Amino acid sequence: MTSSPAWPDLRGIAYGGDYTPEQWPRETWIEDVALMKQAGVNLVSVGIFAWALIETDEGEFDFAWLDELLDLLHENGIRADLGTPTASPPAWFFAAHPDARVLTRDGTVMGFGARGMASHSSPAYRDAVVRIASALAERYGDHPAVVLWHIHNEYGVPVGEDYSEQSVRAFRGWLQDRYGTLDALNTAWGTTFWGQRYGDWEHIGAPAAAPSVVNPAQRLDFARFTDHQLRECFILERDAIRAHAAQPITTNFMANQSWTTDMWAWARELDIVSDDHYLWAADEEGEIGLAIAADLSRSVGGGKPWILMEHSTSAVNWQPRNVAKRPGEMARNSLSHLARGADAILFFQWRASRSGAEKFHSAMIPHAGTESRVFREVVDLGAKLGRLDEVRGSRVVADVAVLWDFESFWAQDLEWRPSEDITHQTQVRAYYEQLWRDGITVDFALPGQDLSGYRLVVAPAQYLLSAADAANLTAYVEAGGTLVVSFFSGIVDENDAVHPGGFGAPLKDALGVRVEEFLPLREGDATTIAWSGGEPGTLGATAWQEDLVVEGAEVVATYIDGPGAGRPAITRHSHGAGTGWYVSTKLDRAGLTALMGAVYADADVAPSGYPEGFELVTRRGADADYLVAINHRSETVSLRAAGTELLTGTQIAGMLDVAGGEVAVLRTPRVLEGGGL
Amino acid sequence: MTSSPAWPDLRGIAYGGDYTPEQWPRETWIEDVALMKQAGVNLVSVGIFAWALIETDEGEFDFAWLDELLDLLHENGIRADLGTPTASPPAWFFAAHPDARVLTRDGTVMGFGARGMASHSSPAYRDAVVRIASALAERYGDHPAVVLWHIHNEYGVPVGEDYSEQSVRAFRGWLQDRYGTLDALNTAWGTTFWGQRYGDWEHIGAPAAAPSVVNPAQRLDFARFTDHQLRECFILERDAIRAHAAQPITTNFMANQSWTTDMWAWARELDIVSDDHYLWAADEEGEIGLAIAADLSRSVGGGKPWILMEHSTSAVNWQPRNVAKRPGEMARNSLSHLARGADAILFFQWRASRSGAEKFHSAMIPHAGTESRVFREVVDLGAKLGRLDEVRGSRVVADVAVLWDFESFWAQDLEWRPSEDITHQTQVRAYYEQLWRDGITVDFALPGQDLSGYRLVVAPAQYLLSAADAANLTAYVEAGGTLVVSFFSGIVDENDAVHPGGFGAPLKDALGVRVEEFLPLREGDATTIAWSGGEPGTLGATAWQEDLVVEGAEVVATYIDGPGAGRPAITRHSHGAGTGWYVSTKLDRAGLTALMGAVYADADVAPSGYPEGFELVTRRGADADYLVAINHRSETVSLRAAGTELLTGTQIAGMLDVAGGEVAVLRTPRVLEGGGL
Amino acid sequence: MTSSPAWPDLRGIAYGGDYTPEQWPRETWIEDVALMKQAGVNLVSVGIFAWALIETDEGEFDFAWLDELLDLLHENGIRADLGTPTASPPAWFFAAHPDARVLTRDGTVMGFGARGMASHSSPAYRDAVVRIASALAERYGDHPAVVLWHIHNEYGVPVGEDYSEQSVRAFRGWLQDRYGTLDALNTAWGTTFWGQRYGDWEHIGAPAAAPSVVNPAQRLDFARFTDHQLRECFILERDAIRAHAAQPITTNFMANQSWTTDMWAWARELDIVSDDHYLWAADEEGEIGLAIAADLSRSVGGGKPWILMEHSTSAVNWQPRNVAKRPGEMARNSLSHLARGADAILFFQWRASRSGAEKFHSAMIPHAGTESRVFREVVDLGAKLGRLDEVRGSRVVADVAVLWDFESFWAQDLEWRPSEDITHQTQVRAYYEQLWRDGITVDFALPGQDLSGYRLVVAPAQYLLSAADAANLTAYVEAGGTLVVSFFSGIVDENDAVHPGGFGAPLKDALGVRVEEFLPLREGDATTIAWSGGEPGTLGATAWQEDLVVEGAEVVATYIDGPGAGRPAITRHSHGAGTGWYVSTKLDRAGLTALMGAVYADADVAPSGYPEGFELVTRRGADADYLVAINHRSETVSLRAAGTELLTGTQIAGMLDVAGGEVAVLRTPRVLEGGGL
């Protein structure tokens, strides 16, 4: 279905942002294109929230302004990423179709006045998105400015789950497709518990507000259903466009910041992955969350180049405290995305809006205008990217995979888990962060995929694990892989039912342990762990212990105190040609550093050797490697390197000083590994 | 109406738990009964959530599986507590009777998918519960396995109050019954305040969400109404069963953990009191809350043996952090319930569920199976209980009563009280805890009941106190009793109206004081109190002071600082042959210890003399006393004792060492009082 | 329209409170009037919540009890402030007009049972308020006891915004009046952002719950609309009364504690401003909040005497911890209101209610009765006020104005602002508090009013500032005034759209700076500022910095650390004959003290020179000044003064010792300025 060019038709790295000239008078348009050229902008996203301006009433279209805009861009050599405006239907739509409005879990009707799509299951909404997408594709499928289609905006945010009658009806149909019979559904959901057995499809509802906790298997299926319905809406639009237009089609994710859509499944439907990423201002190391998002965007697309569709030049506006980026930070962020596979660096948005909910969001042209630090850095970044044409299309190299499975995350996020202190997000971040600090580049992976290319696979939060996926992980170990599994993994099957044999049973062969009982700690309690072999030092941990029964594994470390005192804390198991590690607690940072040091030795994975905060990622091109070095520290770091530093054009032989806050991009026939200051 | 055997027809202490074989294949049933026999299980509760499996559609019954189950149990000598499944109506019920769904205060409809009853006032629901209860009783009234009927489950949780139209209509009827005339209602509710006077019964609604705080008398009556309606539902089922079956009938409370039902009123309708109790994991001394629940269960039943219907073998699943029980803790918990009058020790549940909202709740057979610490301890506890047959039917001895009045708690829990820092629960716990630490066994009592059997009566939270009940307390003092009243007591009458004469006026004669004004402290502020007589040391307190006017009492202690500096803090009043103490502040633990020491001397009540955490309770049998000693400490405590230790069969003469964490049950002709390590 | 006497027809300072005899039997009425005379009470407010007692069913009136009451008051020389009971419609009203019920933003229907008006836009409600107001005025317009009309109660609390269909319809009409065309509305609201363009008036709704943040211009207009609708309801009642009665008409505000009504606009519709004020108990310096409220009440009325309609004798009942007033505190509060322009000192309420939601609210006669500290202080205060007849009608003198603009506050309070740590309330309080500590009396003012009478104008939170108002402030500086502007001012126009030219652009001429970018700090972060001229010492600040571009101003102080390190923090600009200060951060208390010291020197404003907490305010009469000195400290303060101390009748020449906690009122031909202990 989606055969199309692999990349928008433009030169070099794409650079630009969302552009909303409809908010400005015509004279500003003229100024804008001049400034875009000054800044090196070659791609802008248009039309994303313009439904009401294009289809002014049901079936009545006004393309004049968009014609004018696209022509203007084309005349000035700027390419367009043309959006379908379906994330924000017009007022007339909701007035004509009140039953398409979304209902929350507690029955509140979502009104107009902000933004947000209609019910993903509303026939009227589905008709309307096909109509507007078709109309746009028909009119602009051949427009020379249009090089990319941008469907919708951030599916699942701010509207994902819908509890309306339209959604309930669709849910029943989806369940019939999934289960075939009510018996199968009753078994999968375990409806004998709490007397929920269904005798009629029509009695099944959405998991709306109820007196107690709703059946978790039902909620998990509702999450799957929501993802499926949203994706169906996307496919409807995609196919409507493809009928008239040949350019690649994308939609923008919010990797690591939104959880409604299963990015792996979506990526299979896209021509190109794109992602929006915003720093979390309260996090003083927001660059780590950024790296997760970037690696995930690349991974779901199978390593292909992707588009950073939105990020910010400085502060956003929707966080509790919207911290502005410091000088150089925007460039470091942008080049970190590029290092991790992005071949397009775009912003929300070109020019700051005077009105509306996001007027305090930064932009390429801030309210202060072009006489501003931000615009000067925008121009400078455009120039830098202009020197990186050859990097385009190269691929990131990673020897380590971290498992990332939306279904497991959905299941683990449900209510009534053993401890509030455990979340999949903190567990993934903890292990990823350790790898980041050690300078090791990782891919994200699914537990069921081919993992044979990785020396090390880390499973920080694989609560839901099907028997088949467990077998895949076991086979990976057998074949010589090193697997690290963190606690609360391998607990339930795809129906959120505990595996027969007890917690972790499906991984018993790979890990040589089983979990007799969880031992969550009280709020704030910490615990200490000793190496079993008498190695000096201890490891710190919090939140969780387990009553672990060793069945073949060696005990690497033991609890000194807490409810599990004297019991195994960390184990290591030789299985086939490989090794399975099990970590039964939430190690603190120092504990994780010590643990992973031992794991790397097992897996023959080498840390970069550079100080923390000196980010190093390699992209492998056809003819050369591109080493991107981002110095998040304030002092200079000396990089052992040879080749050409592309941003400055300097030849490097042996040593390159990367000043604090600066970035280097080195073309090199050979990356030097290991290193030092 | 409820004439029936006083106890289920089985031998010795009952032991077992909720059993849900409908969640498992038939082969597991066979394994289950074998393991039950191994564990000494003699009673299981069945059918509690099985409505949808028994009545598969309105009026269509399928008893085959239940026939098979009960026969299997009978063949294996295991008795059944047969539940009516009315706490969780099937999906078809709500589909057929959507107006039976419960509405929350803010108008949210409670949907299906979790668990929870329908509106307590829905005619359709009431018809349905009579139909299913009758059908069960008719079929199984003579079944030899069935020795007990278990109606519903935990009335009031998770559904108590209902704001639906059905409930509003019933509320009006209940009010007409209570008040007869609108004038009487207007007076009782004080509707001249804020202009709420009603001129028509039809204008009265439930106290649903409103722009400001709803009339507290209306809310108090709605709490009474809710309790009444739930109890009516119970009575409907009870009578339906009694028409066909002669076994005793119970329903399981959640003493000290749920507040919707007035256990005193309910106990009058039951053949046997039963209770569910779960430790609050964040409380490192959860055994104190357990003791409160157990003493309350015994007290509302007038001291008769009761059933511990549910507790947990280890962690539960619905708290923020579900801490597992440590080795020995389950036995200590179980035997503490037994010490306080339980002749049945049951668990939720026999076998852990693989699916559903409570899959992480512990069970007698955990997910880890029988090769587990938990199951080994279950078998051991079964053996222990098997040695205590003779304890059955003996009665707990208590010289001290603590007042516990649901109506007062309901009233005090309403909005706009003088300080958020004051709750009835913390006040009751504080005084009870002091008595527990001092090794003094207490009953709970109503302020209006005969108190003459008690040397000491403590009123920690008697905010609502009718004039008649105040007279009863005054008469108790006159007759020689010692009464301790804590602040914010005797404030309002049964309509939540302040007593004429000011705060505490109805107790003025008994206490010799009146309260001119409350002096709540700011958040976190503490205060110090000095003994008036120059005794060394001070008492600490928080949250509250009063401007106290002494009218006859002696001032025992005085505020050193805070808004009441220099004013009386604690008073003691001789009235008739007795003594009334008044405590106008929230003493800290050390303060309470000092105060109660003085009170005990007045009341001739002796602390046990053993160290804190060495729990000692006596049950008095026809021929012997049974002293249960539970050592919550880690070190051994030496008990001065003589008789037979039943768990080991050892003869004791003079001294019994109870090791840390262990329990002893001593048959003795005479309990030795006082003691030491 | 509102021509009437300027003040109620009574002698001296009015003294009394809300009186609700309908809650008591007739014998209590007799006791009440006797006690009122004992306490010096000369004015009581009646009928405020009595709708259900007066209009017992739609159109059926019963005036008998009110006739009797007013006659009784008149016979005893006590004047009546007669309320219209429209803040709390009867049960029959809501039963007859269910569509008049208020809807919250999330769609919850506001029920009966508490208190609260109906929808401000309900025709049925509007008819009903005219009917009851007319009936009351017709019957009592000539009653000799009635000297004042009191419409409604605290408009906007607890019901302000309404999202019902009635309100939505009225909102559309209001918008049509405001904008004339949809194009104008679309432009004002910036509806191109997020695709919200309206093509039909009927598509516009209230800004109810939506998937994301609702258009801020729409929300701002909804706040304006709400204020307008409430005011229309007031005007309907006012005009209905005026048709039959000549006494002055008021309604009671909640200055500084409620934000729904634009007091400036309302004051134009009133004969007399009145205000309710309650201390915020958690604030240990509640007297500062009181002073703000009092100054605001005076200011919105143009400096005319006003009525303190309600305050409390001791604790209230609706705060988390309701701290009782300490001896003397009630008198200090009352005389502080008087010092700041109140010629009437009234309480809620005369006698504490036994029933209802506010039974724990203090009163002039508390539950403890007349043998109480509170009643003794009430009698004493009555006597004190009786010695202050001559103060009536005098005017407060102030040289400094603080800007207070409800429209700006409404706009700033909306969602998605740069930092949660910035609120208009804390900013206003910070600057006001500094002036209060320095003993400087201030008026509040609108940014667009004539400011020429003030030496100093402070703008702590002028987020929304129209171009016209900015021009007025600029002209004020040009003409020689001193203006202090705090950060996040001059940001948006009247449509919440960022001013062209960037943040603060409209004040660029007056201040000589523009703001390139906001630099909010992370939670809890602090920053230090150095004087640019090398003056010793530093200033502390939190929450906010800015990237400030100086365009003519001198840099007075510079950031030492934080994201703005090295950038200007405080600037001073000479413009015309005056000076404009700009403060780009949230100074801590010491920082503000230092800053304002420098500002006072510029503005030629002199602090009182007395220690903090010695409150000094002057009221200027026709023949004399009245200096009110309130000593909030515990030690004596010596006041340099000459004249007659009115409370004691003592002649003072040179020095008056005001003991800790005491108040003096000095008639003096000349206030001595400057001073010391």
CA angle B285, B286, B291 (to 5 degrees): 110
**In this predicted structure, what is the pLDDT of residue B334?**
98
Q: What average pLDDT does this structure show over B415-439? A: 97
- Domain residue ranges of chain C, discontinuous segments joined by +: 14-391, 400-603, 614-668
A-C Cβ pairs (cutoff 8 Å, strict) = 193
Task: Report CB contact under 8 Å: C215, A159.
Answer: no
Determine how many CB atoms are found less than 10 A away from the CB of residue C560: 15
**In this predicted structure, what is the pLDDT of residue B676?**
36
Which among A210, A500, A503 has the least Cβ separation from residue B110? A210
Task: Report CB contact under 8 Å: C324, B191.
Answer: no
**In this predicted structure, what is the pLDDT of residue A4?**
63
Question: How many Cα atoms are found within 13 Å in the side-chain-facing hemisphere of A299?
Answer: 28
- Please say whether the beta carbons of C311 and C334 come within 8 A: yes
ipTM, 2 dp:
0.96
Question: How many Cα atoms are found within 13 Å in the side-chain-facing hemisphere of A194?
Answer: 23
Task: Report CB contact under 8 Å: C281, B197.
Answer: no
**In this predicted structure, what is the pLDDT of residue B674?**
45
pLDDT tens readout for residues B340-394: 999 999 999 999 999 999 999 999 999 999 999 999 999 999 999 999 999 999 9
Question: Is pLDDT at A670 greater than 60 in this prediction?
Answer: no
Q: Which residue in A has a C-alpha nearest to residue B322's C-alpha?
A: A418
Buried b (16+ CB within 10 A) or exposed e, B4-27: beebbebebbbbbbbbbbbbbeee
How many residues does this entry show for chain C? 677
The pLDDT confidence band at residue A162, using thresholds 50, 70 and 90, is very high
**In this predicted structure, what is the pLDDT of residue C3?**
53
Q: What gap in Å lies between CA B240 and CA B249, rounded to an integer?
A: 11
- Please say whether the beta carbons of C40 and C10 come within 8 A: no
Question: Is pLDDT at B132 greater than 60 in this prediction?
Answer: yes
Q: Which percentage of chain A shows pLDDT scores above 90? A: 97
The alpha carbon of residue B104 is apart from the nearest alpha carbon of chain C, in Å, by: 11
Residue B467 exposed, middle or buried by CB count within 10 Å (0-12, 13-18, 19+): middle
pLDDT tens readout for residues A487-522: 999 999 999 999 999 999 999 999 999 999 999 999
A-B Cβ pairs (cutoff 8 Å, strict) = 192
**In this predicted structure, what is the pLDDT of residue B675?**
40
Which is nearest to C315 in space by CA: C251, C367, C382?
Answer: C367
The alpha carbon of residue C535 is apart from the nearest alpha carbon of chain A, in Å, by: 29
Neighbors of chain B by Cβ distance (3+ pairs < 8 Å): A, C
The alpha carbon of residue B62 is apart from the nearest alpha carbon of chain C, in Å, by: 43
User: Exactly one of C55, C237, C287, C310 is catalytic; which is it?
Assistant: C310
The alpha carbon of residue C50 is apart from the nearest alpha carbon of chain B, in Å, by: 5
Q: Could you tell me the fold of the domain covering B14-393?
A: TIM Barrel (3.20.20)
Question: Is pLDDT at C512 greater than 80 in this prediction?
Answer: yes
Domain A614-668 in CATH 2.60.40.1180: yes
**In this predicted structure, what is the pLDDT of residue B6?**
84
Active site residue A285: no
Phi then psi for residue C430, to 5 deg, are -60, -50
**In this predicted structure, what is the pLDDT of residue C571?**
98
Residue numbers in C near A158 (CB within 8 A): 211-212
User: Exactly one of A154, A237, A407, A615 is catalytic; which is it?
Assistant: A154
Lowest mean pLDDT among B512-521, C477-486, C532-541: C532-541
pLDDT tens readout for residues B619-651: 999 989 999 999 999 999 999 989 999 999 999
- Please say whether the beta carbons of B356 and A215 come within 8 A: yes
Q: What gap in Å lies between CA B625 and CA A46, rounded to an integer?
A: 87
Distances (CA, A) of B429 to A366, B285, B597, C27, C229: 60, 12, 17, 44, 51
Residue numbers in B near A487 (CB within 8 A): none
How many residues does this entry show for chain B? 677
**In this predicted structure, what is the pLDDT of residue A676?**
36
**In this predicted structure, what is the pLDDT of residue A130?**
98
Q: Which percentage of chain B shows pLDDT scores above 70? A: 98
Residue numbers in A near C545 (CB within 8 A): none
Question: Is pLDDT at A671 greater than 60 in this prediction?
Answer: no
Which is nearest to A493 in space by CA: A473, A512, A468, A511?
Answer: A468
Helix (H, G, I), strand (E, B) or coil at C15: strand
**In this predicted structure, what is the pLDDT of residue C672?**
46
Element spanning C266, H or E: helix C263-267
Q: Which residue in A has a C-alpha nearest to residue C220's C-alpha?
A: A356
Neighbors of chain C by Cβ distance (3+ pairs < 8 Å): A, B
Residue numbers in B near C89 (CB within 8 A): 195
Task: Report CB contact under 8 Å: A115, C495.
Answer: no
| Average pLDDT score over chain A | 96
pLDDT tens readout for residues B5-61: 789 999 999 999 999 999 999 999 999 999 999 999 999 999 999 999 999 999 999
Helix intervals (H) in B462-559: 467-478, 508-511
**In this predicted structure, what is the pLDDT of residue B315?**
98
Task: Report CB contact under 8 Å: A91, C214.
Answer: no
Q: What gap in Å lies between CA B276 and CA B293, rounded to an integer?
A: 9
Q: What average pLDDT does this structure show over A561-589? A: 98
Lowest mean pLDDT among A94-98, B155-159, C246-250, C667-671: C667-671
Question: Is pLDDT at C305 greater than 90 in this prediction?
Answer: yes
Question: Is pLDDT at C670 greater than 80 in this prediction?
Answer: no
Determine how many CB atoms are found less than 10 A away from the CB of residue B180: 10
Q: Could you say which architecture CATH assigns to the domain A14-162+233-393?
A: Alpha-Beta Barrel (3.20)
Helix (H, G, I), strand (E, B) or coil at C508: helix
Q: Do domains A14-162+233-393 and A614-668 have the same CATH topology?
A: no
- Please say whether the beta carbons of C509 and C474 come within 8 A: yes
Which strands make up the sheet holding A400-403, listed edge to edge? Answer: A442-445, A400-403, A456-459, A482-486, A578-583, A568-575, A554-559, A526-531, A538-542, A586-587
Supply the pTM of this predicted model.
0.97
Structure tokens belonging to residue A546:
């387990």
Structure tokens belonging to residue A27:
């004279």
The alpha carbon of residue C293 is apart from the nearest alpha carbon of chain A, in Å, by: 29
**In this predicted structure, what is the pLDDT of residue C627?**
97
Q: How is residue A99 annotated by DSSP?
A: G
Higher pLDDT: A670 or C454? It is: C454
**In this predicted structure, what is the pLDDT of residue A534?**
84
Which is nearest to B429 in space by CA: B417, B442, B419?
Answer: B442
Active site residue B310: yes
The alpha carbon of residue C501 is apart from the nearest alpha carbon of chain A, in Å, by: 6
Those residues whose C-beta lies under 8 Å from the C-beta of residue B455, and which sit 6 or more positions away, are B399, B400, B481, B482, B603, B604, B605
SS3 content of chain C, % helix, strand, coil (to 5): 30, 25, 45
User: Exactly one of A55, A310, A407, A546 is catalytic; which is it?
Assistant: A310
Lowest mean pLDDT among A533-537, B60-64, B181-185: A533-537
Lowest mean pLDDT among A242-251, A476-485, C531-540: C531-540
- Please say whether the beta carbons of B405 and B227 come within 8 A: no
Q: What gap in Å lies between CA B333 and CA B347, rounded to an integer?
A: 12
Residue numbers in A near B23 (CB within 8 A): 190, 192-193
Which is nearest to B362 in space by CA: A498, A284, A602?
Answer: A498
**In this predicted structure, what is the pLDDT of residue C457?**
98
The alpha carbon of residue C68 is apart from the nearest alpha carbon of chain B, in Å, by: 17
Which among B213, B419, B549 has the least Cβ separation from residue C114? B213
Q: What gap in Å lies between CA C488 and CA C423, rounded to an integer?
A: 10
Q: What average pLDDT does this structure show over A434-459? A: 98
Q: What gap in Å lies between CA B267 and CA B252, rounded to an integer?
A: 11
Which among B52, B324, B356 has the least Cβ separation from residue A215? B356
- Domain B400-603: give its CATH code: 3.40.50.880
Q: How is residue C558 annotated by DSSP?
A: E
Which among B90, B111, B314 has the least Cβ separation from residue A209? B111
Which among C203, C215, C421 has the least Cβ separation from residue A356? C215
| Mutation for testing the A interface, residue in C163, C182, C194 having most A CBs under 10 Å | C194
Which is nearest to A335 in space by CA: A44, A627, A640?
Answer: A627
| Mutation for testing the C interface, residue in B185, B517, B551, B567 having most C CBs under 10 Å | B517
Residue numbers in A near C549 (CB within 8 A): 368
The pLDDT confidence band at residue B4, using thresholds 50, 70 and 90, is low
Question: Is pLDDT at C39 greater than 80 in this prediction?
Answer: yes
pLDDT tens readout for residues B89-130: 999 999 999 999 999 999 999 999 999 999 999 999 999 999
Residue numbers in A near B284 (CB within 8 A): 522
Which is nearest to B115 in space by CA: B86, B84, B140?
Answer: B86
Dump the DSSP string for C436-502.
HHTT--EEEE-TTS--TT-SEEEES---B--HHHHHHHHHHHHTT-EEEEESS-S-B-TTSPBPTTS
Q: Which CATH superfamily is domain C14-391 in?
A: Glycosidases (3.20.20.80)
Question: Is pLDDT at C676 greater than 70 in this prediction?
Answer: no
Residue numbers in B near C362 (CB within 8 A): 517
